Structure 1
Amino acid sequence: MLEKLPDAIGHALHDLRAGLDKIVFNTLGLRAGMATIEVSSLAFADHAPMPGRYTADGEGVSPPLAWRLLPPEASTVVLLVEDADSPTPNPLVHAIVVDLPTRDGTLAEAAMPSAEQDGAGLHMGRNSYLQGAWLPPDPPPGHGVHRYAFQVFALRDGPGFSETPGRDELIDRLRERAIASGLLIGTFERPDGTIPDREAETVPAQLVG
């Protein structure tokens, strides 16, 4: 989508980033006195590059994920994926999944719906493009490394979610019900001059990420 933007745009926006301090994991103070969930992926290590197949330069499917050490009192689990380095006031939301099982669990590759995949029937919330789907990483060329935060939260009993919850609704529920959290960071960078052999599409400039 954004791979054919001029490199100059990425360079001009280089210092404009939401910031890792603004991802939900870091803004709600959930870790103070709370249990820690271990989050991992078979596809990439923490703070390591994500393979291209999970990005807009490849198939764009969602990566495999796993989590463990959930507290026994958890009644549901949610996943939030945000781009900490999007040139937007708040991190760009790439996926929301709610009502996951309350046990050590996994999401297989392509479990989330995307442009090419129907997914595994998960209860999806809205990403920043207002879609109930996985939004593949798609940073502007030359903008530098982007950090994608895969955040897993365990919630106690309480009010449920709407059919397609957004980031604000998710934050409200986390404030009321969160009892544990975990974080995995995957990175992706589109260097200068990287133009995959795909037809460009028009995307709102304020939603780059």
Structure 2
Amino acid sequence: MAVMGKLLKNKRAGDEGLAWHAPNLAGANTLQLSSPDFAHEATIPTLHAGKRLGGQDLSPALAWDAAPAQTAQLLLVIEDPDAPTALPYNHGIALLDAALTGVPQGGLDAETPADGVRLLSSGSRRGYLGPAPIKGHGPHRYVFQLFALGKPLTIGKSDTVPDSAKPRAVLAAAGDVLARGRLDGFYERV
């Protein structure tokens, strides 16, 4: 598998495909997103990595400032822009109650999400999917992005978002961002 990682070493999705750079998700960077489990631009502990890498697929605890008073809901997106794919790989997407100022460790678990957390399909499954980069591909960045939305997210003619909505459809439908915050962590499989 390390051979595959070395062959794909220069193949990366890139930052420009992150939700953070979508014009409809632009907003004031006023939410301070953090985790007691790792610092911004630091290594994510193995506990939070994928099970096949010896981790537990346990989502890290996250905390943030109170969202602006007009916030209808929060959108949390976790992406890997270093994946050797056309777009950043989605490791989790969720709609959160606007009153929340954090989620506990494991709060993005598909079986038992924290109160106020509604998990959507990340493309391959619902819930948090821990880091699991290709061996030998180098460090991967995992970007936790939180958006305070001024109106409830809806898709199509529906007045809600189906749990099975594809991540790109969710991101395209989001807008009216009142505030946003970002936390980057790194993980490398050697």
Shift of 1:164: 3.1
Paired position in structure 2 for 1:24: 19
Q: Distance in 1 between matches of 2:105 and 2:29?
A: 27
Shift of 1:145: 0.5
* Letter of the structure 1 residue corresponding to residue 145 of structure 2: Q
Q: What secondary structure does 1:110 align onto?
A: coil
Paired position in structure 2 for 1:110: 106
Paired position in structure 1 for 2:178: 179
Q: Distance in 1 between matches of 2:29 and 2:164?
A: 27
User: Percentage identity across aligned positions?
Assistant: 28
Shift of 1:27: 2.6
Paired position in structure 1 for 2:136: 142
Q: Name the count of aligned residue pairs.
A: 180
Q: Distance in 1 between matches of 2:184 and 2:139?
A: 12
Q: Distance in 1 between matches of 2:150 and 2:45?
A: 34
Q: Distance in 2 between matches of 1:50 and 1:105?
A: 21
Paired position in structure 2 for 1:65: 62
Question: TM-score scaled to structure 2, two decimals?
Answer: 0.87
Q: What secondary structure does 2:144 align onto?
A: strand
Question: What aligned pairs does 1:1-209 form with structure 2 within 5 A after superposition?
Answer: 6-28=1-23, 30-31=25-26, 34=28, 36-56=30-50, 57=53, 58-98=55-95, 100-103=96-99, 105-113=101-109, 118-120=112-114, 122-129=117-124, 131-158=125-152, 159=154, 160-175=160-175, 177-191=176-190
Q: Distance in 2 between matches of 1:49 and 1:10?
A: 19
Q: What secondary structure does 1:25 align onto?
A: helix
- Say what the alpha-carbon RMSD is for the aligned residues: 1.8
Unaligned runs of 5+ in 1: 1-5, 192-209
